[in-house]
């Protein structure tokens, strides 16, 4: 609930609430104009319906809902294998699964390979498509190509300045490059816009995470609790919240929150919870090692 006295925030969200769907719609119209030159490249009403239903399925992200959305898009793509919009939507969803560590190592590698091929083809066909650029931005972040991801996400924002998904991934890039204050400002900007609604929990999680990295634990608790209020089933958010509670001396809450995290993500252990370290800065890795030690202290298995 917004504070009625926070006029600048209300103004930002009002502008984003108008600007984001308008930018998306303009992009769709431009894509539509290109259909005649690229058969199979444009989204039909049926394609849009499938993508919208898959998006609705993951509005509150859980592993089960992720699998439902993946099944929808996989079936639709099997019926229309040349449909770029469906392929890009499936690739973006698979990248979400990689980031949430919902694939086995072998399936994760296969998803990465498939997503790369899909997105590189889509970029050749639709170089100015917001969904394609947004998915490529996510792909580069998920594969730890942080500098390249900053560029791709920036291109997305040049077409839709209110794209919270692109802002979220810029914040992740900045975090793992050790630019913590920049990352926090980026996550806060995404929160000021609050679009698209399906991703609201992500920038709240991002802001909480970077506050934990900076040892600002009271601020972290506020951001992480807000993220859990939107999407309570990711598990990773609870783990960070448990660390923040531990640092604040709230030991009973820390242990209870960690127990909740492990119930939400059975089989969790350090290797499948910790973010990949490839290309991460030493400034980030130093802070991350502290978090990992505290997660182990709270009961996360080491291996």
| Structural domain containing residue 67 | 8-297
**pTM recorded for the entire structure:** 0.85
Q: Which residues contact 137 (CB under 8 A, 6 or more apart)?
A: 149, 152, 153, 155, 156, 165, 166, 169
pLDDT digits (tens, 9 = 90+) for 45-67: 567 778 878 776 666 667 788 88
d(CA 207, CA 188): 7
Q: Is the pLDDT of residue 188 over 90?
A: yes
Which residues are CB-contacts of 128 (< 8 A; sequence separation ≥ 6)?
27, 30, 159
Model confidence at 37, in pLDDT bands (50, 70, 90)? very low
Say if 1 falls within a structural domain.
no
Residue 162 lies in a domain: yes
| Residue 93 resides in a domain | yes
For residue 22, is pLDDT > 80? Answer: yes
Is position 303 within any domain?
A: no
Residue 250 DSSP SS3: coil
Read off the pLDDT band of 98 (50, 70, 90). confident
Q: How far apart (Å, rounded) are the C-alpha atoms in residues 160 and 134?
A: 10
Q: Quick one: pLDDT at residue 54?
A: 74
pLDDT for res 56: 65
Quickly state the pLDDT bin for 80 (edges 50, 70, 90). Answer: very high
50: domain CATH number? Answer: 1.25.40.10
């Amino acid at each position: 609930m917004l504070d009625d006295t926070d006029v600048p925030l209300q103004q930002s969200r009002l502008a984003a609430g108008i600007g984001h769907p308008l930018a998306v719609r303009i992009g769709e119209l431009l894509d539509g104009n290109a259909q005649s030159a690229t058969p199979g490249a444009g989204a039909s009403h049926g394609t849009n319906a499938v993508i919208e239903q898959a998006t609705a399925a993951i509005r509150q992200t859980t592993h089960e809902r992720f699998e439902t959305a993946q099944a929808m898009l996989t079936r639709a793509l099997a019926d229309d294998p040349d449909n770029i919009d469906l392929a890009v939507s499936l690739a973006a969803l698979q990248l979400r699964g990689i980031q949430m560590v919902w694939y086995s190592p072998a399936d994760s590698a296969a998803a990465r390979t498939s997503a790369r091929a899909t997105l590189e083809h889509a970029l050749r066909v639709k170089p100015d498509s917001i969904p394609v650029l947004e998915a490529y931005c996510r792909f580069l972040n998920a594969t730890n190509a942080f500098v390249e991801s900053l560029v791709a996400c920036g291109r997305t924002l040049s077409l839709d300045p209110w794209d919270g998904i692109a802002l979220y991934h810029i914040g992740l890039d900045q975090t793992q490059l050790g630019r913590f204050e920049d990352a926090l400002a980026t996550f806060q900007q995404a929160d000021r816009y609050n679009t698209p609604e399906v991703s609201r929990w992500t920038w709240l999680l991002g802001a909480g995470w970077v506050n934990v990295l900076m040892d600002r634990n009271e601020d972290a608790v506020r951001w992480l609790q807000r993220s859990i209020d939107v999407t309570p089933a990711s598990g990773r958010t609870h783990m960070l919240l448990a660390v923040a509670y531990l640092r604040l001396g709230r030991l009973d809450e820390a242990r209870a929150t960690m127990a909740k995290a492990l119930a939400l993500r059975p089989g969790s252990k350090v290797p499948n919870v910790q973010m990949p370290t490839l290309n991460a800065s030493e400034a980030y890795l130093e802070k991350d090692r502290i978090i990992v030690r505290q997660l182990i202290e709270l009961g996360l298995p080491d291996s």
